[in-house]
Amino acid sequence: MELKPNQIVCGDCIEILNGVDEPVADLIFADPPFNIGYKYDKYHDKVEKKNYIDWTKDWMLACCKALKPSGSFYIAIGDDYAANVKVIADEIGLTMRNWIIWHYTFGQQTKAKFARAHTHIFYFVKDKENYTFNVDAIRVFSDRQKRYKDKRANPEGKLPDDVWDEHPRLCGTFDEREGWHPCQMPESLLARIIRVSSNCGDCILDPFNGSGTTTVVAHKMKRNYIGIEISKQYVKEAQKRIQQSEEFPVEGEGEINWTERLDAELKWLYHENKMSTEKLSDNKYLLGLFTLKFNNRIGFVNNPCRPEDIKARLTKLRKSAKLGPLRGHVEDK
Ligand SMILES: C[S@@+](CC[C@H](N)C(=O)[O-])C[C@H]1O[C@@H](n2cnc3c(N)ncnc32)[C@H](O)[C@@H]1O
């Protein structure tokens, strides 16, 4: 079977991926149900432990069949089965490049133990000598730049480490939240993964498409996408989300024609660099570098955004609550 790009297919990912003739994906991001009793439309998220582990091996093998030899494979998983995922990956010959912790605070309260505030994200490759890792595309401001004003700091910034705390989990009141799916991932997290482990025109596959975060971000970033999802209802809603992410103009100011796409990129950069709009506005040097990063990402060469455009737009998005809370900062007023 040929799995064509730029579609969200309804069905069981194991059956579909086992049926592909040729590897199609340059990058796979899988966020399966965690077997913790979440309420999904179709899937029952509480099965016998052994069945869940066997099933995990089945879908991981099916994904490997669809992954190109130079492909990368990211898997998000909770505490209960993280060790099993790692053991299965070793058995099937994947190489782990990072074991990332996505740390979020969500306001959950516990009564008798520490609140769980993280998810594991494994980063595997098929071939440890041949994979895409776009180092310069994901650099963020270093403490030398932000805090110590150290002249020796690399102006390009530093690579993020393997604890990611800058992507807030989406709560019900966030502008980005779709509301019809119980566990939507933040776009900024997927944007980092897609940016570093793929190039424009590559094919990104999500076997558990859910609300469609991976596919929508891939589409925004000019990659091809394939989503697989067992619920017809989620497929329909995710397709709508893709249509809404087209480059439609949004109300702007100044000379830039602001679009949904430009706003998304601005928001992702803001979270990745963890600098409040006030701090950024006060620091000309970093605002200049931030503007440069933005122009590079968007591909604005002849008519680039100016620092004052970025400052005005960020302030506007912040005032209309479209930026979401910034990790480690009291909200800007
Ligand atoms: C944790 S959610 C994915 C959320 C997604 N990352 C997002 O940001 O919206 C898992 C999804 O997998 C779907 N699912 C469960 N079993 C499946 C299967 N065998 N094939 C395809 N999809 C499946 C569920 O319906 C659910 O929407």
Number of domains in the chain: 2
Measured in Å, residue 228 CA sits from the centre of ligand 1 at: 8
Measured in Å, residue 136 CA sits from the centre of ligand 1 at: 31
Atom of ligand 1 nearest to the CA of 41: 25
Are 144 and 274 within one domain? no
Ligand 1 binding pocket includes 185 (Cβ within 6 Å): yes
Q: How far is CA 169 from CA 187, 262, 325, in A?
A: 10, 22, 10
Neighbours of 268 (CB within 10 A): 25
For the CA atoms of the chain, what is the radius of gyration? 20
Q: Which of 218, 244, 270 is the last residue of a domain?
A: 244
Helices (H) and strands (E) in the chain, counts: 11, 8
Ligand 1 binding pocket includes 211 (Cβ within 6 Å): yes
Beta carbons within 8 Å of 154's beta carbon, 6+ residues apart: 142
Ligand 1 binding pocket includes 181 (Cβ within 6 Å): yes
Are 11 and 48 within one domain? yes
Measured in Å, residue 55 CA sits from the centre of ligand 1 at: 14
Question: Token digits for 20?
Answer: 């592909």
pLDDT tens-place string over residues 93-122: 999 999 999 998 766 788 899 998 999 999
> Per the domain annotation, does 216 fall within a domain?
yes
Beta carbons within 8 Å of 187's beta carbon, 6+ residues apart: 176, 213, 216, 217, 220, 264, 268
Task: Please compute, for residue 167, the number of CA atoms within 13 A of its CA located in the half-sphere on the CB side.
Answer: 22
Residue 74 · residue 197 · CB < 8 Å: yes
Ligand 1 binding pocket includes 234 (Cβ within 6 Å): yes
Ligand 1 binding pocket includes 45 (Cβ within 6 Å): no
Q: Which of 244, 273, 307 is the last residue of a domain?
A: 244
Residues of the chain with pLDDT under 70: 106-107, 248-249, 251-254, 328-333
Are 284 and 154 within one domain? no
Are 86 and 152 within one domain? yes
Are 31 and 172 within one domain? yes
Measured in Å, residue 221 CA sits from the centre of ligand 1 at: 22
SS3 246: coil
Ligand 1 binding pocket includes 228 (Cβ within 6 Å): yes
Ligand 1: which of 230, 232, 240, 241 to mutate, judged by most atoms within 8 Å of the beta carbon?
A: 230
- Which residue's C-alpha comes closest to atom 18 of ligand 1? 12
pLDDT tens-place string over residues 156-207: 999 999 999 999 888 777 778 888 898 999 999 999 999 999 999 999 999 9
Atom of ligand 1 nearest to the CA of 13: 20
Q: Residue 234's closest CA among 161, 184, 290?
A: 184
Are 233 and 306 within one domain? no
Ligand 1: which of 39, 208, 209 to mutate, judged by most atoms within 8 Å of the beta carbon?
A: 208
- Pairing mode, if any, of strands 163-164 and 95-103? parallel
Are 287 and 143 within one domain? no
Residue 120 · residue 74 · CB < 8 Å: no
User: Could you give the CA distance from residue 219 to residue 242 in angstroms, rounded to a whole number?
Assistant: 7
Chain centroid offset of residue 153 CA:
27
The pLDDT score that the predictor gives to residue 321 is 77
Ligand 1 binding pocket includes 44 (Cβ within 6 Å): no
Measured in Å, residue 209 CA sits from the centre of ligand 1 at: 5
Domain that holds residue 311: 260-319
> Per the domain annotation, does 1 fall within a domain?
no
Ligand 1 binding pocket includes 262 (Cβ within 6 Å): no
Ligand 1 binding pocket includes 183 (Cβ within 6 Å): yes
Residue 45 · residue 33 · CB < 8 Å: yes
